Structure 1
Amino acid sequence: MSDSEDSDISGMENEEILSGSNAKQHAQQLKLLQEKDPEFYQYLKETEKELLDFEDDGEDTDVDGGTYLDEDVESDLLAEGKKKPHVKPITTSMVDSWCRDVKSRGSLRAVRSLLRAFRAACHYGDDDGDADQSSEKLGIISSSVFNKVMVFVLNEMDGILRTLLKAPEAGGKKETIMELTTTKQWKTYGGLMRVYLGNAYHILNQMTDEQMISFTIKRVKASAAFLAAFPSLLRKYIKVIIHTWGTGRGPLTVVSFLFIRDLCVRLGSDCLETCLRGVYKAYVMNCKLSKSVSISKLQQIQFLGNCVTEICGVDPPAVYRLAFLFIKQLATLLRGVLSEKGLKVVNEKKKGKKDKESKSTKKQMEKAYQKVYDWQYIFCLELWTSVICTYGSDTDFRPLAYPLSQIIQGVAGLVPTVRYFPLRLRCIRMLNRIASATGTFIPVSSLLLDMLEMKELRSPPTGGVGKAVNLLSIKQVDKNTVKTRSFQEGCIHAVIEELAEHLSHWSRSVSFFELSFIPLIRLRSFCKIIKADRFRKEIKDLIRQVEANCDFTNSKRVGIGFSPNDPAVEEFLRAEKENGESHLSEFVKSLRERTQLMHNSLVEKSVIVGAESSVSGKKVSEYDEEIEEEGEAAFSSSWLPEKKKSQVLEKKKKNKKRTIEEREDDVEPEEEDDIVEDLVLSSDEEDEVDGEEELLSDEGGESKSQSASKDGAKKQNNSSRKKRKSKPRRKKKAKVSV
């Protein structure tokens, strides 16, 4: 943490700090005071001379003889203005003694020393250009020290600070934390919680190992409720956790989501709105795909959608407003495309354009369609469909079903061509899910039966058998695929399944005979036109099941005495509705099994179903109790953050020099001059490298050696330039330089 943040602690604990400070610290304070305010120092010297007379008592020790770094975390402020503070290395024995003192007798000085060590560990590898940083005071000398500090602090510090603050042993709501901030304990020790959470946030931005990040997030989640007292730090945490949720894989994604959900539950609607906006944006960014999508990517998107759906269930009244705004954005985009389509068609008819001009108009319209026929748009529709299906019985989300179904119907009928049949089938599946979850009738049969009347599905295929097409992983097909037998077969099977699914929702309705009348007529007409026996047989099976269900419902409604709009209609076939039994329901189950077998056969053998895919395919709530990671396993490697800029810059410089030498060796003699001159660094680049290395160098000897190597390189470059100036330039070189 920065010195400004740690100063909050020192301001809260002035009496305790002064009582425990030694003579050396007092001397540093007076020296700093003399530099900053010499007039006040002179005044003290004249009036309070006894304050300036003291003796150095030596190193600070505890009752049992244990040595501590400083009594307060904020003692580093005393070194402000000092150019080269002393670096005190942290050893394993020191960490062990602090841990023993904390566990055995709850030593406050040991807690502060551990926090200082934790801060040094979290800032290890940071740019050391600023000499006033307090992280220079301590040094992590080995990976074992780093691991011990990180594991103990992350495991134990939440309980230790809760004891000091007299907070609940676990959890806590926003109201509880805000009441706690007014107590004396918070004014004394509240800054320690900020130090702990702030440094944990810093190390989350530095680590690259997913296991370490997962363990850190999991342990910090125990203190997530205290972020209500630090709004700026809360915003930073939300940002970094959403990033790990959207970009991580496997357990890291689950742990990150559990942290986000815990924040939403404990901190209320304000935090919920911020988190929902962030996760929705991350979900949309993950849905940015090409024309086709892999099975593993579909599983990941499904998992992320399940996460967003679960967040929406935390507080439905608060989420409704945001959900309405997001659905309205989708509707506005669709309306713009529809209006653009209508204007172009009207202008084309008025002007009577020729065929060439009409083709250009079609291309422009296709570009407009891509705003809607995009994976991001489609997956957003599926996300809100999932939300409404999950909370369809809730009065807060139920009103959103109507506008969303209207948008999906508009997307399905936007481009009524065979090439976009996969996308239309996805829209029809969404409509069937909404109808089943909310119990409302949606006219899906017309969209399906219109597909059967397309000539590409009625006439025999002319493109051969072709490859099997997975309609779940594409949104459109090319013209050659449309003519194949495999595509025709897949579309007809999907139409039959979705139509049977739609009719089965109302197979126990008193008005099933009227609902199925027109679909039966059009299905019989299709059976007369289609020439393939296998398709005719499947259509006849569907007709037979629908007719049998009609006979069953008609026989049951012969003896009823209420009208269709009577509330008593809900009692019609109640036993069958509760059991879910009907002629069509059994038929739909068999169709689903066949579709699942076909889908499994299309999955590539190269797809590995491992931890990532298994996590992505299930609900998040199933893993709330399963994820258990031990700190010793997470921080057991020899990992340490790398020094950032100085080492990387030096490595780049060596690689660049090596490539120049290799290319010089491989060049033919007559071309050597031209290529070497092109690769010579300019003076501006050399000056920039010199400035960065001087700023980032840790030791004077290292910087001197680097500057000496630079001087040698400059002399060598200057001599090579002089030699080239003495040689006559060839015409080819002069032409290139001009």
Structure 2
Amino acid sequence: MDADDTVESLDYELSDEDEEGSTGSRRMSKSKNKAKEHKEQLHRLQEKDPDFFQFLKEHDQELLEFDDEDIEESADSDIEGVETVVDDESIQGDLDFEEKPSKNIVTAEMVDSWCKSIKESGKVGAIRSLMRAFRWASHYGDDEGGDSSARLGTMSSSVFNKIMIFVLTEMDGILRKLLKLPASGGKKETIKDLMNTRQWKNYNHMVKSYLGNALHILNQMTDTEMISFTLRRLKCSTSLLAALPSLLRRYIKVALHFWGTGGGALPVVSFLFLRDLCVRIGSDCLDECYKGVYKAYVLNCQFVNASKLQHIQFLGNCVIELLGVDLATAYQHAFVFIRQLGMILREALTMKTKEAFRKVYEWKFINCLELWTGAVCAYSSEADFRPLAYPLTQIILGVARLVPTARYFPLRLRCVRMLNRIAAATSTFIPVSMLLLDMLEMKELNRSATGGVGKAVDLRAILKVSKPTLKTRAFQEACVYAVIEELAEHLAQWSYSIAFFELSFIPSVRLRGFCKSTKVERFWKEMRQLIRQIDATSEFTNRRRTSISFLPNDPVASSVFEAEKKSGASPLSQYVVTLRQRAQQRSDALMRSSVLVGEKSSVFGEQMSDSDEEDNAINEQGSAVFSSSWLPGSDSNVKPPKVEQDGKKKKKKKKKRNAEQLEGGLASDEDIVEDLVLSSDEDEDMRDSPFSEKDGDKELPAKQKTKKRKAANKRSKKNAESQGKNSKKRKKAT
């Protein structure tokens, strides 16, 4: 292409721009002429009919207070139209300055004057100028091609903070006044009706600009406090998203991301934002929110340890709370998700392969069962959710019996705990005693431990145990105590039934058989205590049975022990209270001894109150949230990571440990080899899945592990013998 061609093309482009500018100027001149004519008409009306003019002054003050800025605003809105595509380009085009790049400098005085005029008189021109500045602040530092980056203004960090804080705190109220909406709240129907009014036609571009640019800055932020403050302020404007479907979907995705991965108070704020969306907008976002929260929950519960249990429980409680917004819609999704779990279990029962078993015996599957158990228990009194109790119970029973070996006792106990919760919530009998009594008859719990005392076992954070742990005394005690607690919990639920004697007969006989057959003396005391409580409860119910005259199938039979049930007078109920206290003490001891991973993990439980107070203070004083030196796209506040320093510390520790090993001699080397073998062995056996693979390598059988351990011990002995011979030779030489 020649130089002349480039000149011609540039001239062509400039001519197009000139034509667009001329059409815009013609439209603007027409609007100004109309404004002038309208003013002249009002002046003539005042001279000809002063009484009518006075009437307009009293009842329609807005018509007389006519301004050129209003005409310009209406002309701009007419050009844009009501139906516009909501994306970053359209928002950017609506808010670009017509001035030259050199004049696009936003100062603190300009922002203060805009804010003052908005608060005092509510001028539309000042609002438009502030929204342009807000767009600049949101896109500050973005990489944009062509000349569009030159149009963006320059500002300092203090000016950026002023713009962000004022817009986020005041813009919702300003837009509501312009659109003539209530000061707070609003539903989808209200916004749908608003879209047919003149106010929406004039000011809808401001709503799109505010929500679109706020979404953009949310994606740029990394500080959790700034994100929490922004989301908390945007929650006031969730009803306006009913008119902007594309922005609504993007807000849902952002809120779901922060809810699943955020730290501190951010998950709570994100969940409240999502719940407010579901309440105010309803069916337009319910399906997407229900699917999104379930998917985020599944992604976060694939791996479980002691420090992550509370976070997973919090996520599950959030999902259950969100389901309660619309139970009819929630039932449809819950039915589909529970059916998926049932299909996975059916595949495992028919195929009977390692891969099929692995899909069932993994944390993802078990935590989903926990989630729907909590949902069924929370809404058991509702007609929409009660039918889900039966299929869920059948799935849990099938999971508990899928692989009936001692290594999966922790998983079976979790299933029993879920069944007891469903039975208590729905007042339905579920035969869980057989699952517990079968465990007591297995040799792993019926004989003395051969693997020593062992480490304390946290049954909440594992699904299966390793073979060495299976033979330890700590595992035996944890399982037997858990069986006693869950069996007592199950029987206590029916300790106020007339049929308790028949219901507890078989468990009582099998517990007596366990006391006779077991060789572990420390279990006798606990079992006999449970048997005594069962016998005392049987006498408690039989005394009342002798005084009644109706048949067992009479509906009155269910209300015979109503007064005793409210007061918890049965011996088993009182015994269960002491068992719960003992279980809580053991759980607290395990939590204190466990290692919490991650410095910035989410804070829940007792520490949540402190974080809530801090967040409320931040909400009141927004200036404390935004750092005075933070700007989008700038790394002025980012500190370099301390990886190198930590690496140097690790190297120093490693050198010191090697020196100690050299000074300690051969015995220390042998101890280190044995420790490494045992730790790796436990790590391989304590995985979540029953047939899990790590780093692409399959789990080795126990025989190969013992062979490797023996080979390592032999090598260490040979090294010791060779070093001993060398030392003897040195002594002879000296």
Which TM-score bucket, shorter chain as reference? 0.7 to 0.9
Counting only pairs closer than 5 Å after superposition, residues 95-134 of structure 1 correspond to structure 2 as 95-132=111-148
Distance 1:515 1:78 in 2: 75
Q: Is the 8 A contact 1:302 1:616 kept in 2?
A: no
Aligned to 1:448: 436
Structure 2 gap ranges (5+): 1-11, 34-64, 81-90, 641-734
**What is the CA distance between 1:140 and its match in structure 2?**
3.5
Partner of 1:139, secondary structure, is coil
What is the CA deviation profile of residues 209-261 of structure 1, one whole-angstrom value per residue up to 9, with x for unaligned ones? 11111000000110000000000110010011100111101211100000000
Match of 1:640 among 631, 651, 671: 631
Aligned to 2:575: 587
Counting only pairs closer than 5 Å after superposition, residues 199-278 of structure 1 correspond to structure 2 as 199-278=213-292
Deviates more, 1:605-614 or 1:467-476: 605-614
Change (3 A) 1:78 1:501: closer
Change (3 A) 1:384 1:323: same
**What is the CA distance between 1:84 and its match in structure 2?**
8.4
What is the CA deviation profile of residues 654-692 of structure 1, one whole-angstrom value per residue up to 9, with x for unaligned ones? xxxxxxxxxxxxxxxxxxxxxxxxxxxxxxxxxxxxxxx
Aligned to 1:429: 417
- Answering whether residue 356 of structure 2 is matched by residue 336 of structure 1, we say no
Partner of 2:183, secondary structure, is coil
Change (3 A) 1:221 1:321: same
Distance 1:609 1:127 in 2: 34
Aligned to 1:88: 104
Q: Structure 1 length as normaliser, TM-score?
A: 0.72
Aligned to 2:50: none
Distance 2:341 2:605 in 1: 26
Partner of 1:89, secondary structure, is coil
Change (3 A) 1:79 1:156: closer
Aligned to 2:384: 396
Partner of 2:153, secondary structure, is strand
- Answering whether residue 374 of structure 2 is matched by residue 383 of structure 1, we say no
Change (3 A) 1:214 1:180: same
The AA in structure 2 aligned to 1:93 is: E
What is the CA deviation profile of residues 600-619 of structure 1, one whole-angstrom value per residue up to 9, with x for unaligned ones? 22222643999965426899
Match of 2:156 among 142, 153, 176: 142
The AA in structure 2 aligned to 1:366 is: K
Distance 2:560 2:509 in 1: 26
Change (3 A) 1:613 1:520: farther
Q: Is the 8 A contact 1:85 1:137 kept in 2?
A: yes
Distance 1:515 1:628 in 2: 57
The AA in structure 2 aligned to 1:537 is: K
Q: Is the 8 A contact 1:174 1:268 kept in 2?
A: yes
Deviates more, 1:204-213 or 1:80-89: 80-89
**What is the CA distance between 1:40 and its match in structure 2?**
12
Distance 1:594 1:527 in 2: 22
Distance 1:397 1:619 in 2: 31
Distance 1:197 1:38 in 2: 32
**What is the CA distance between 1:77 and its match in structure 2?**
5.0
Distance 2:226 2:448 in 1: 59
Counting only pairs closer than 5 Å after superposition, residues 302-321 of structure 1 correspond to structure 2 as 302-321=313-332
Counting only pairs closer than 5 Å after superposition, residues 664-675 of structure 1 correspond to structure 2 as none
Change (3 A) 1:183 1:82: closer
Change (3 A) 1:78 1:572: closer
Partner of 2:105, secondary structure, is strand
Partner of 2:186, secondary structure, is coil
Match of 2:173 among 155, 159, 163: 159
Aligned to 2:503: 515
Q: Is the 8 A contact 1:143 1:638 kept in 2?
A: yes
The AA in structure 2 aligned to 1:492 is: V
Change (3 A) 1:497 1:79: closer
What fraction of aligned residue pairs are identical, expressed as a percent? 57
Aligned to 1:301: 312
What is the CA deviation profile of residues 616-671 of structure 1, one whole-angstrom value per residue up to 9, with x for unaligned ones? 68999x97998452311111331112269xxx9xx9xxxxxxxxxxxxxxxxxxxx
Distance 1:98 1:78 in 2: 19
Distance 2:272 2:607 in 1: 14
Distance 2:549 2:607 in 1: 47
Match of 1:324 among 331, 335, 343: 335
- Answering whether residue 541 of structure 2 is matched by residue 553 of structure 1, we say yes
Distance 2:363 2:356 in 1: 15
Structure 1 gap ranges (5+): 1-30, 55-62, 342-364, 652-738
The AA in structure 2 aligned to 1:128 is: E
Aligned to 1:35: 16
What is the CA deviation profile of residues 10-56 of structure 1, one whole-angstrom value per residue up to 9, with x for unaligned ones? xxxxxxxxxxxxxxxxxxxxx999426869979x99xx9x99xx9xx
**What is the CA distance between 1:557 and its match in structure 2?**
1.3
Change (3 A) 1:518 1:85: same
Partner of 2:618, secondary structure, is coil
Q: Is the 8 A contact 2:134 2:164 kept in 1?
A: yes
Aligned to 2:479: 491
Counting only pairs closer than 5 Å after superposition, residues 518-529 of structure 1 correspond to structure 2 as 518-529=506-517
Partner of 1:295, secondary structure, is coil
The AA in structure 1 aligned to 2:344 is: L
Partner of 2:119, secondary structure, is helix
- Supply the RMSD in Å over aligned alpha carbons: 3.3
Distance 2:534 2:626 in 1: 63
Aligned to 2:596: 607
Q: Is the 8 A contact 1:422 1:475 kept in 2?
A: yes
Q: Structure 2 length as normaliser, TM-score?
A: 0.73
Q: Is the 8 A contact 2:457 2:474 kept in 1?
A: yes
Distance 2:349 2:388 in 1: 21
Distance 1:606 1:619 in 2: 20
Partner of 2:360, secondary structure, is coil
**What is the CA distance between 1:336 and its match in structure 2?**
0.6
Q: Is the 8 A contact 2:95 2:132 kept in 1?
A: no
- Answering whether residue 408 of structure 2 is matched by residue 420 of structure 1, we say yes
Distance 1:505 1:624 in 2: 40
The AA in structure 1 aligned to 2:106 is: I
The AA in structure 2 aligned to 1:172 is: G
Distance 1:546 1:79 in 2: 77
Q: Is the 8 A contact 2:235 2:273 kept in 1?
A: yes
Distance 2:151 2:21 in 1: 28
Q: Find runs of 4+ consecutive structure 1 residues off by over 6 angstroms.
A: 37-42, 70-76, 78-84, 608-611, 617-620, 622-626
Aligned to 1:629: 618
Q: Is the 8 A contact 2:224 2:264 kept in 1?
A: no
Distance 1:566 1:628 in 2: 60
Distance 1:499 1:154 in 2: 55
Change (3 A) 1:194 1:81: closer
Aligned to 1:681: none
The AA in structure 2 aligned to 1:224 is: T
Distance 1:40 1:625 in 2: 52
Q: Is the 8 A contact 1:254 1:623 kept in 2?
A: no
Q: Is the 8 A contact 1:126 1:643 kept in 2?
A: no
- Answering whether residue 162 of structure 2 is matched by residue 173 of structure 1, we say no
Distance 1:80 1:32 in 2: 19
**What is the CA distance between 1:317 and its match in structure 2?**
1.2
**What is the CA distance between 1:179 and its match in structure 2?**
0.8
Distance 2:422 2:294 in 1: 21
Aligned to 2:705: none
Partner of 2:172, secondary structure, is helix
**What is the CA distance between 1:137 and its match in structure 2?**
2.5
What is the CA deviation profile of residues 542-567 of structure 1, one whole-angstrom value per residue up to 9, with x for unaligned ones? 00000000001011011212222211
Q: Is the 8 A contact 1:87 1:137 kept in 2?
A: no
What is the CA deviation profile of residues 195-221 of structure 1, one whole-angstrom value per residue up to 9, with x for unaligned ones? 100000111111111111100000011
Distance 2:499 2:615 in 1: 47
The AA in structure 2 aligned to 1:634 is: V
